[in-house]
């Protein structure tokens, strides 16, 4: 199987995954999608964060 035949769905933790995803794209692989975790809410009371 050749690179052009593969369609990759990539999952990873952002801090760890960025470089390996970059290597796949630069290597000519077709990345069909990237799955990430949603942003976490800020620590503490959101109302306090907005007022700051």
Residues 1-50 pLDDT 10s: 787 788 999 998 777 889 999 999 999 999 999 998 877 776 666 665 55
| CB of 33 closer than 8 Å to CB of 9 | yes
- pLDDT of 48 reads 56
- pLDDT of 8 reads 93
- pLDDT of 19 reads 92
What is the Cα–Cα distance from 14 to 27, expressed in whole angstroms?
19
- pLDDT of 45 reads 62
Write down the residue that tokens 């999608």 correspond to: 33
């Amino acid at each position: 199987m050749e690179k052009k035949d593969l369609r990759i769905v990539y999952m990873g933790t952002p801090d760890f995954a960025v470089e390996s995803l970059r290597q796949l794209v630069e290597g000519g692989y077709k990345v069909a999608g990237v799955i990430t975790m949603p942003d976490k809410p800020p620590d503490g009371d959101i109302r306090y964060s907005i007022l700051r």
